[in-house]
Each structure stands twice: as C-alpha cells, then as structure tokens.
Chain A
C-alpha cells in the first residue's frame, strides 16, 4: 500500500507539473494541426490523463515531453480522419491585427503578412517541426513526435527557416 501510494504521488506530481508547464504548448500545437479550439483544448487535457494512466501502469516513458506531443499529434490526426472538413490551419487566411500574442515585439504588419503567407507555403512537416520547436522540444523529441529521424527534423527545420527567411528579408 505504501509503495503504491508512493507511485501515485510520483505520477501525480509529474503529471500535474507538466500539465501546468506544457498544456498551452500542446494546445497550440493541436490547433495548428487544424482542430477547432474547443476540441483542441479537450485533446490537450486528455493527453495528460493518458500520461497519468501510462505512468500508473508502471510504464516507463523515455522522453515524457516527446511522448505527450506524439500522443497529441496522433489524437489530432484521428479527429481529422473522422472529420474530413478539418484541414490544417492556414496562416495565410488569418487577419493580421495587433494580436494579443505578439506582445513582446510588435512586428511590422506587412512583414507579418508575408511571413504568414510563407508559413502557409511550408509543407505540413516543416510547419510541425517549427511549431514543436517553438513549444520548446528538442530535436529528438520532435523526431519522436512526428515519427522521423533526428537528421530529418534538422532538414525540415533548415528548409522551413530558409523559406521564412526569404519571406521576411
């Protein structure tokens, strides 16, 4: 009993801490894959419940952050497979305004528009890699999430950055 209490406490604290830290990142990643905001928030929350289940079953998880995003990624794809109307988020269609998220640095409206257009031109994998990087994931974790090798992640990054760089120059 003591042992299982300890196991529960350990799992509790890991999951609760990560939930605080990473839920928004997971949410934004899922939204960027094309899920409506409300659904994306559900998915983001569920991912942490799954993580908890996994840990409580004594399953070892090599890289927890990578795991979280991989599960979120798969969940999003499942939703999209079910609902064919959902498609990837298209940044080019977003109105460029003084969005609350751009608090730190006001971007020029024009270059922002160009950036959004360039973003829309990226391949889905390039976009995902950049998104996951923005969420603070290491290349290894990104690789695990989208199911490719680390050097492929590096390559997607390079191509993504090259395109965006051209757009904002």
Chain B
C-alpha cells in the first residue's frame, strides 16, 4: 500500500513538473513499461482538469470591473513622500513617527505591521544611530552561559565558529556587524516584527530575523529597542544546530526589574503576582476559547504572569491582547513561527495513508462506502481530539491552582461539562462499531491526571484503529479494546472530582 502511495506522490510531482531532470527521466522510462502508472497519470490529469473547470464554473465571477491600479500606486507613493518630509532621516523620533504613520496607512490598507518595515532600512538606521556599544554582555549557548566584556573577543571556540560563519564576533550587538553579515548573503529571507514588552523587557522592540540557506549560520535575529534603535539581544542559529544568544547586561535604568511590567489599564505597582492573577489570565483566555490547545504558554514568575503566544493570526492576536491587556501583572509576548514549516511537522501527514487492515474492512462493510468510512473516521478523531483538549485544560487547572476560588470552580465546571458532552457524542459516533457503551460511575473519585490518561488512551486506540495503514490486529480485539477504553473514559468523566 505504501508503495502505491509513494508512487502516486512521485507521479503527481512528475505531472506538475516538480521533479528534477534526472528523476523526470527515470519516471519517463518507467512509464514506458508500466501500464498502471500510465493509467494513473491519465486519470489524475483528467481529474485535475475537471476540478479546475468545475471550481471556476461554480464560483461567482468578480462582481465589478477591476480598478485601474496605477493611480492607486501613485497615491501610495505620495503618502510615502509625505512621511519622509515630516522629519529628517536617521533620527529615532522620525522612525517612531514613521512607524506610527505607517501603522495608520496600515489600517487603511489592513496591512499587518510586521510587513511594513524593511529589514534593510531598519538596519541602516540602527547602524547610523549606533552610539556607545554595550559594555558587558551575557553569552548563552546550549552548554554554558557566561558574562564577558563586550570588547573582549576571547573564547577561541566560539570565535572560530563565528569566523567560519563570517560573522564579526568582536562586535556583538552591533547593527553594523549584523548588516555586514546580511549583505554578504546572496539568498536570504527577512522578517521584521514589532514586539511589545518582550520577555523581561519593557517598551517596543523590533526584531529582525534573517534566514539563509548559505554559510554556517542558518538564522540570526537581532532585537532592537525602538526608542533609540539600540540592539539589545542577538540570537545565532548555526547550521550544525548549535546556537548562541547574546544580550546586553543592562547598566541602564531602563531595565529596572523593580518596576512592574505593563498594564495599560491600571498600573499596579504591588510586587509579585499571585495565583489569583494567574487564574484571571486563564479566565480571560477561557472567555475567548483560547485555553483549548492553542499554543499559548502561561508562566508566573516573580515579576509578572508571562503569556507567550506562538503563531497566532493577527486577528487572534488582537483578541488575546484585548482579553488580557487590562489585567494587572501580565506581560504578553507574541512570537511568530517561521513562515514555512518543514515537512513532518504536520500532523496531517501521520494519517496520510488509507487504512487497509481488518478494522478498515469491517468499517467498510458497516458503512457501505469508503467515503462514509472517512467521514466516520474524521468525526470520531475530531471529537476525540476535542475531548483531549478539555482533559488537558482540566489537568492544567488542577496542576496550577490549589485555592478553591470561584473562578477556578467555574472554569473547571465548564470544561468538565464540555468533556462529558464530548464523550457522549463520541459514544454515539462510535456506536456502529462498538454497539454503544454504558459506563458506571467508578467507586473512587477520579482526578484530572487520571481523566487525561483515559482520554489519551482512547485517542491513541482510535488513531491506531482508524487512521493507521498497518494495523493488522483482529477487528474483534480492536473493537473490544476501544469499548473498554471508551467505558473507562466515560466512567472517569462521571467520577471526576477536581
């Protein structure tokens, strides 16, 4: 089965001209002698053509004539010129004003701010700006971390790594050094982001990340303080998966840790955040449904409750900002993952192959068609995933909070209810396969950890049974296991006591 599967991948790539010359040649030779592959190719081509025509045929045509673009482009240029005239170049104040003005244009155009600032421009300005470089820096690698004077080049091992990668190690945290490295690359991809109050720092920062397929460094990012365009942090990702982080040891008052991090609505100077503060964050996230497996990390430390959001869309980011922005002791950090994720990162790939084992045959008999089996599989796995998300949320609450706060009780009850609904729904969905399961409330109470365990066991079983190609186990045996796991989970959900 997997042979056919990978053959189809190659044939489709061939069809779309995605193979290199050598592979194309190989496929062509193979096609000469393989009727099956030829037939597949012919059908795939016809199917794709039908698809293309059908899609275009059923979508509505553009309702208006297309606007003339050139006048709009000229308007944009006029706006840009306006920006430049307002302040002389190369002054932070200008930059701040420009950023604000660009942000306004951005609203008009619904641009995302992350894309309005060019890395080259920003680096040029930061280089021109460079006043006194950092005195002392902290260097972290995967193995150690130390503090050194910025001007002292020492550490031969690191120095050699940087030299090989063409990066000036003698000038850490200097925009110019970064720019020189970057300019030496023929192929690169930049990303500029605006960060508000990134980890342990206050105010606005730009982070420039440059990725390249060339040389010893695969990715370097520099974080630049917006107020004075001073680089305060650098991260070097070497191609051999080593990494080095450098940050300025602040002698300036700007990093006084005694000052509580931002809370725009009500500045609250009281010192350490409490469990109640953290719980409020969870409550706020729950209100917008952001506590169900979104990559959001909540950490409470001495200074604040730090919320790190990874890879949210711009609108989601705004919702999260709105939801927790006014809370005291909260610092929010937004991180965007790389635009392109490598293959294998996609969970979708795991279930790529069509199941063919005894369980699948039984399902096919029960459901009548492969499409029905797919629908059944999707519904079951989706529901199971929803249950898992709730179980995770419950576990997280149980692990973090101990005081029987009203908010905690409500949040827990909410997730618990949704989890029970999910289990009932899943029972219904699986009914054709399992004949339905009736569970009994267990004699002892069940805690969040046990509940999560039960949800995970069932999810694993379902994934193996429904979405794995090589599951050769006897159908009766598999069904019995699913029945047991489902009954366990149902029991656990009834006996759950936070």
B343 interface residue per 8 A CB criterion: yes
Interface residues of A in 6-33 (CB under 8 A from B): 8, 11-12, 15-16, 19, 23-24, 27-28, 31-32
B199 interface residue per 8 A CB criterion: no
User: By the criterion CB–CB under 8 Å, are A91 and B109 in contact?
Assistant: no
Q: Which of the residues A46, A82, A119, A155 comes within 8 Å of B9, measured between beta carbons?
A: A155
Using Cβ atoms and an 8 Å threshold, which residues of chain A touch B346?
A: 148-149, 152
Given A48-B69, A152-B346, A155-B348: A41 touches B63 (CB 8 Å cut-off): yes
User: By the criterion CB–CB under 8 Å, are B57 and A16 in contact?
Assistant: no
Interface residues of B in 45-89 (CB under 8 A from A): 46-64, 66-67, 69-70, 72-73, 76-77, 80
User: By the criterion CB–CB under 8 Å, are B343 and A133 in contact?
Assistant: no
User: By the criterion CB–CB under 8 Å, are A148 and B341 in contact?
Assistant: yes
Q: How many A-B residue pairs have CB under 8 A?
A: 214
User: By the criterion CB–CB under 8 Å, are A164 and B70 in contact?
Assistant: no
Interface residues of A in 126-169 (CB under 8 A from B): 130-131, 133-134, 138-139, 143-144, 147-152, 154-159, 161-166, 168-169
How far apart are the CA atoms of A163 and B375 in the complex, in Å? Answer: 12
Q: Which of the residues A50, A102, A119 comes within 8 Å of B56, measured between beta carbons?
A: A102
B253 interface residue per 8 A CB criterion: no
> From DSSP, what is the main secondary structure of chain B's interface residues?
helix
B370 interface residue per 8 A CB criterion: yes
B270 interface residue per 8 A CB criterion: no
User: By the criterion CB–CB under 8 Å, are A121 and B70 in contact?
Assistant: no
B26 interface residue per 8 A CB criterion: no
The interface bits of chain A over 30-47 (1 if a CB of B lies within 8 angstroms of the residue's CB, else 0) are 011000011011001110
Q: Which of the residues B64, B118, B189 comes within 8 Å of A62, measured between beta carbons?
A: B189
Interface residues of B in 1-40 (CB under 8 A from A): 5, 8-9, 12-13, 16, 18
User: By the criterion CB–CB under 8 Å, are B339 and A144 in contact?
Assistant: yes
Select from chain B the residue with minimum beta-carbon distance to A24: B62
A86 interface residue per 8 A CB criterion: no
User: By the criterion CB–CB under 8 Å, are B59 and A12 in contact?
Assistant: no
A87 interface residue per 8 A CB criterion: no
How far apart are the CA atoms of A44 and B354 in the complex, in Å? Answer: 37
How far apart are the CA atoms of A31 and B57 in the complex, in Å? Answer: 13
Select from chain A the residue with minimum beta-carbon distance to B45: A161
From B130-138, B232-240, B312-320, the one touching the partner chain is B312-320
B116 interface residue per 8 A CB criterion: yes
Q: Which of the residues A32, A62, A78 comes within 8 Å of B313, measured between beta carbons?
A: A78
Give the distance to chain A from B118, nearest Cβ to Cβ, in Å: 4
The interface bits of chain B over 303-325 (1 if a CB of A lies within 8 angstroms of the residue's CB, else 0) are 00000000001111001000000
Q: Which of the residues B76, B340, B375 comes within 8 Å of A147, measured between beta carbons?
A: B340
A112 interface residue per 8 A CB criterion: yes
A110 interface residue per 8 A CB criterion: no
User: By the criterion CB–CB under 8 Å, are A133 and B16 in contact?
Assistant: yes
User: By the criterion CB–CB under 8 Å, are A107 and B53 in contact?
Assistant: yes
Using Cβ atoms and an 8 Å threshold, which residues of chain B touch A121?
A: 371, 374-375
User: By the criterion CB–CB under 8 Å, are B47 and A164 in contact?
Assistant: yes
User: By the criterion CB–CB under 8 Å, are A49 and B73 in contact?
Assistant: yes
B365 interface residue per 8 A CB criterion: no
Give the distance to chain A from B41, nearest Cβ to Cβ, in Å: 11
A68 interface residue per 8 A CB criterion: no
Select from chain A the residue with minimum beta-carbon distance to B192: A59
Extra contacts, 6 of them, besides A60-B188, A99-B58, A105-B53 (Cβ < 8 A), are A53-B76, A58-B120, A119-B55, A121-B371, A139-B13, A148-B343
Q: Across chains A and B, which 10 residue pairs bring their CB atoms closest together, nearest first?
A: A149-B343, A101-B57, A99-B57, A102-B57, A151-B343, A101-B56, A94-B58, A81-B315, A57-B118, A134-B52
Query: Which residues from chain B sit less than 8 Å from chain A, CB to CB?
Result: 5, 8-9, 12-13, 16, 18, 43-44, 46-64, 66-67, 69-70, 72-73, 76-77, 80, 105, 109-112, 115-121, 187-190, 313-316, 319, 339-346, 348-349, 352, 354, 370-371, 374-375
